[in-house]
């Protein structure tokens, strides 16, 4: 049977008519994901904490012809998370096809130097906020009847790369949460996957990119011998959201130039 066609492209390779929420879309990987999903036809909603930067991004996207709206939200705040989902529900009439939990942060210290405040900051930003946003978004995802959640974790949650044990533990928990939700919510037509980037050139990664020891070790351990680009992560996220990926759920895909598969 012939596939429906959208703009000359099979509908299996289009996000036309779909709605998406991407957290932390004003910089780095999140910015790239907003653009990638919008280019494929999705209506995207995003958030960040800096109002001026968010408005600047929204203007740029409007000029490019992308359908992107957004609002300020610190996703570590329970009240602000609730407000965010209320707004998303109102903008998208209670239906959300795609949720990308992108926000994350890191502090780079040896384990014995971490404080209780550091632990709380890292776990609330990298794990707790994504967990609760996903809970809140569940009714909207279910209502869309064909939904996809993508978590952004890190190869630090797959192997030890010595950039902070709390970050690694929180990202490892996200990888496992992916498997649980894939099984629990399959009955609601919600697929759940995870993308685990290696080092990607973004503001978050700047301290590592400037550290000569880290760069030298990273290059030695990475078969492709370079850092990654934002586009190389956003394309993987977009693929997982497409109807073309309809049999993929519960997976963590490392976008890391081969770092996690190199033995010696
Ligand atoms: N870059 C890498 O090498 C790398 C590697 C592995 C995994 N990752 C993961 O990829 C994801 C994106 O990283 P990135 O490198 O693109 O980071 P980034 O350059 O620091 O960008 C983070 C984005 O999230 C927003 N944000 C941060 N904290 C927030 C909060 N509490 N509430 C709402 N928005 C918030 C930021 O805007 P505001 O600051 O204005 O809020 C910004 O738009 C993270 O989960 C990170 O752990 C990155």
102 CA from centroid of ligand 1 (Å): 7
Q: CB-based burial of residue 6 (10 Å sphere; 0-12 exposed, 13-18 middle, 19+ buried)? A: middle
| Pocket flag, ligand 1, residue 200 (CB < 6 Å) | yes
Total of domains in the chain: 1
Q: Are 34 and 46 in contact (CB under 8 A)?
A: yes
Element (H, E) at 52: helix 51-64
Domain annotation covers residue 14? no
- The answer to the question of residue 264 being in a domain is no
CA 62 – CA 80 distance, rounded (Å): 25
Report angle CA 67, 132, 198 to the nearest 5 degrees: 70
Mutate to test the pocket of ligand 1, among 22, 23, 25, 28 (most ligand atoms within 8 A of CB): 28
Q: Is residue 61 a part of any domain in this protein?
A: yes
CATH of the domain at 157: 3.40.50.720
Look at residue 263 and tell me if it is in a domain: no
Q: Which helix (H) or strand (E) holds 43?
A: strand 43-48
CA angle, residues 98, 255, 37, in degrees to nearest 5: 30
CB-CB contact of 152 with 100 (8 Å): yes
CA-derived radius of gyration, the chain: 18
pTM of this prediction? 0.97
Residue 111 backbone dihedrals phi, psi, to 5 degrees: -55, -40
Give bridge partners of residue 190 from the DSSP assignment. Answer: 147
CA distance 111 to 177: 24
Residue 199 lies in a domain: yes
Helices (H) and strands (E) in the chain, counts: 9, 9
Q: Does residue 184 lie in a domain region?
A: yes
On whether residue 127 sits in a domain, the answer given is yes
* Structural domain contains residue 55: yes
Q: Residue 125 C-alpha to ligand 1 middle, in angstroms? A: 10
pLDDT by 10s per residue, the chain, length 264: 445 666 556 899 999 999 999 999 999 999 999 999 999 999 999 999 999 999 999 999 999 999 999 999 999 999 999 999 999 999 999 999 999 999 999 999 999 999 999 999 999 999 999 999 999 999 999 999 999 999 999 999 999 988 899 999 999 999 999 999 999 999 999 999 999 999 999 999 998 899 999 999 999 999 999 999 999 999 999 999 999 999 999 999 999 999 999 998
Task: Residue 202: give the domain boundaries.
Answer: 19-254
Which residues are catalytic, by number?
167
Q: How many Å lie between the centroid of ligand 1 and the Cα of residue 184?
A: 27
Q: Running DSSP on this structure, what letter comes out for residue 158?
A: T
């Amino acid at each position: 049977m012939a596939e429906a066609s959208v703009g000359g492209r099979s509908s299996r390779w289009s996000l036309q008519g779909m709605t998406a929420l991407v957290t932390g879309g004003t910089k780095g990987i999140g910015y790239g994901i907003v653009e990638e999903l919008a280019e494929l036809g999705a209506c995207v909603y995003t958030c960040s904490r800096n109002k001026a930067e968010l408005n600047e991004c929204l203007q740029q996207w409007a000029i490019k012809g992308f359908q992107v709206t957004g609002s300020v939200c610190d996703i570590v705040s329970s009240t602000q998370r609730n407000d965010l989902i209320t707004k998303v529900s109102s903008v998208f009439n209670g239906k959300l096809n795609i949720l990308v939990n992108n926000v994350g942060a890191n502090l780079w210290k040896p384990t014995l130097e971490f404080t209780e405040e550091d632990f709380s900051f890292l776990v609330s930003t990298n794990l707790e906020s994504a967990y609760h946003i996903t809970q809140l978004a569940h009714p909207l995802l279910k209502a869309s009847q064909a939904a996809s959640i993508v978590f952004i974790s890190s190869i630090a949650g797959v192997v030890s790369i010595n950039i902070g044990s709390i970050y690694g533990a929180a990202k490892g928990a996200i990888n496992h949460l992916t498997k649980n939700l894939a099984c629990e919510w399959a009955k609601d037509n919600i697929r759940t996957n995870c993308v685990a980037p290696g080092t990607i050139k973004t503001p978050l990664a700047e301290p590592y990119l400037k550290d000569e020891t880290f760069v030298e070790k990273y290059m030695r351990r990475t078969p492709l011998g370079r850092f990654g680009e934002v586009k190389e992560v956003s394309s993987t996220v977009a693929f997982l959201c497409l109807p073309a990926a309809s049999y993929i759920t519960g997976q963590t895909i490392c976008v890391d130039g081969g770092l996690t598969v190199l033995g010696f």
